[in-house]
Amino acid sequence: MQLEGAQKKLLDAKSSLACHKARHDVESSKSATSDDIGKVKVEPKSSATPSPMHVDEGHTQNQPQLRPQLVIPAANLNMGEAKSLADPSMKVPSVSGVRSATSSSKRLSDTPGKLKGDMTSCKNSSEKTISNSNDKQASRKLQQRVHKDLISSIRTAASPHIIRFQTATLISNQGRRKMRSIALNPFNDKLFVTSSLDGVVKLWEVQAKGSSTSLLSSRDCLSAKRRWPEDITWHPDGDSLFSVYTADDGDSQVSVLNLNSSKNEVTYLKEKPHLRGIINNIIFMPWGDPCFATSGSDHAVILWNEKDGDNVWKPKVLHRNLHSSAVMGVAGMQNRQIILSAGADKRVIGFDLQTSRADYKMQGDNKCMGILPNPSDFNLFMVQTGTPQKQLHLYDIRVRQREIHAFGWKQISSDSQSALINQAWSPDGWYISSGSTDPMIHIFDIRYNSSQPCQSVKAHQKRVLRAAWHHSLPLLISISSDLHIGIHKINQ
């Protein structure tokens, strides 16, 4: 009996010792896990790229392999900076079940709406070709031009500076009605739009550095009374297109095509300040806060300002009685808040917004059909008139009733001067391109002491309405009544 009791006590002692040893192993394991977790650190933001683990190549064979240290980037780092903190050749170990992973999971589950919103925002931003409003405002500031004196060089050259064009590429406008207008995007230089007499506005993209162009989308922009746009212009941010129609029959006068919308929505402004007739022109002013002016057959010039930043535009009548006939063109001077208007009554009026009066007045010899300030010389502007062979006239706004230069082209197919024929300045301000009723693009070098074009480019089969200079590429883009868009590359 004593022997059996002694054996029982010995078994109990061994069992107690085993339990004690097991508890000790568990506590040691917990301590080691805690130490590993303690090694996880938050890496502060730094311009240098830290190495997650230093490896001495001369001793790796004599030392046991160490588990790489996990680096969690600081919360204020973006994903690109976070990736730069890790060695690309090293895989980050899984930390499922560790406290840091648990807390991350909790943060994600606590904010599913925010995560969904961020994902949607990222997706939308990657699909948009036009940046956000802050970027656009910064871009507008960068694009503000510096005044350069060109007036002193006008008519000083005995020979012109010839532009060498390559053979034109003609692209179908993919429509059955004639085109009316073309406008190049001021923010994204790959994009431009055309409008046609069927009311369809088409968005195009310049490809291969100007070798071709492709149609991206089209949108019906007819007014409520089914009128086509008489004129179009881009918002300075390049994300919406404004069109004007007519004031007759209570029709919509201004529409806005929002290209940031997935549906390319067209909205019509409620205000209708023009009293009657066609609204001939719409243009944004070259100043800080976006505003645009319209001119119409009711002799009026209207200035529109945005209210509350919610696509609500309020019109202000600048004048209705300074012109005695239709106002065919309107534009803003860059150096002063003066709005120029050109009328069929042969008058050019410069209305000063600071003094609310006509600061500049000029009477011409023929009806005025358009007006364009020079992009480089802020005192120089061009007026298109109905005078045969001298359709274009240059003026200095500092000197009244003084014409600096007059030039034009001889028309063969027709003697009438059409207001649908428009001009454009080259980005450097030295050249003017003009369409014509003949299938020609006329180029004028304002330094050339001549009243004739320095060159004429045959490009289309029917009249050319306009040839616009590309902002950054050596390129002219023209539209014609032959239902084609012309791409004219310039040799450099």
**How much is the pLDDT for 288?**
85
pLDDT in tens, 331-341: 999 999 999 99
Map tokens 């004028």 to a residue. 444
Q: How far apart are CA 380 and CA 150, in angstroms?
A: 8
| Mean pLDDT of all residues in 63-83 | 34
Answer whether residue 53 shows pLDDT above 70. Answer: no
**How much is the pLDDT for 34?**
43
pLDDT tier at 419, thresholds 50, 70, 90: confident
**Element spanning 141, H or E:** helix 133-142
SS3 431: strand
**How much is the pLDDT for 411?**
86
**How much is the pLDDT for 74?**
33
Q: Which of 102, 97, 92 is nearest to 72 (CA)?
A: 92
**How much is the pLDDT for 217?**
94
pLDDT in tens, 80-137: 333 333 333 333 333 233 233 333 333 323 333 332 333 333 334 334 444 455 565 5
Higher pLDDT, 136 or 435: 435
**How much is the pLDDT for 40?**
35
Answer whether residue 479 shows pLDDT above 80. Answer: yes
Higher pLDDT, 51 or 132: 132
| Mean pLDDT of all residues in 376-392 | 96
Answer whether residue 167 shows pLDDT above 80. Answer: yes
Answer whether residue 60 shows pLDDT above 60. Answer: no
Q: What are phi and psi of 306, to 5 degrees?
A: -80, 140
pLDDT in tens, 261-282: 777 889 999 999 999 999 999 9
**How much is the pLDDT for 7?**
58
- Which tokens in the block code for residue 72? 């969690």
SS3 258: strand
Lowest mean per-residue pLDDT among 141-145, 303-307, 417-421: 141-145
End-to-end CA distance of the chain: 116
Q: How far apart are CA 196 and CA 219, in angstroms?
A: 11
| Mean pLDDT of all residues in 1-18 | 58
Q: How far apart are CA 381 and CA 379, in angstroms?
A: 7
b or e along 376-398 (b: 16 or more beta carbons within 10 Å of the residue's beta carbon)? bbbbbbbbbbbbeebbbbbbebe
Residue 213 burial (10 A CB sphere; 0-12, 13-18, 19+): buried
Q: How far apart are CA 348 and CA 363, in angstroms?
A: 6
Q: Which of 320, 360, 315, 316 is nearest to 340 (CA)?
A: 360
How far is C-alpha 117 from the geometric centre of its chain's CA atoms?
25
Answer whether residue 70 shows pLDDT above 50. Answer: no
pLDDT, mean over the chain: 79
Answer whether residue 66 shows pLDDT above 70. Answer: no
**How much is the pLDDT for 14?**
59
pLDDT in tens, 207-261: 988 888 999 999 999 999 999 999 999 999 999 999 999 999 999 999 999 988 7
Residue type at position 456: S
**How much is the pLDDT for 299?**
98
The answer to whether the pTM exceeds 0.75 is no
**How much is the pLDDT for 137?**
58
Residue type at position 75: A
Q: How far apart are CA 304 and CA 302, in angstroms?
A: 7
Residue type at position 45: K
Q: Crossing angle of helices 99-110/112-127, nearest 10°?
A: 80
Higher pLDDT, 139 or 317: 317
Specify whether domain 151-489 bears CATH 2.130.10.10. yes
Lowest mean per-residue pLDDT among 130-139, 425-434, 442-451, 467-476: 130-139
**Around Cβ 114, how many Cβ atoms within 10 Å?**
11
SS3 424: strand
**How much is the pLDDT for 199?**
97
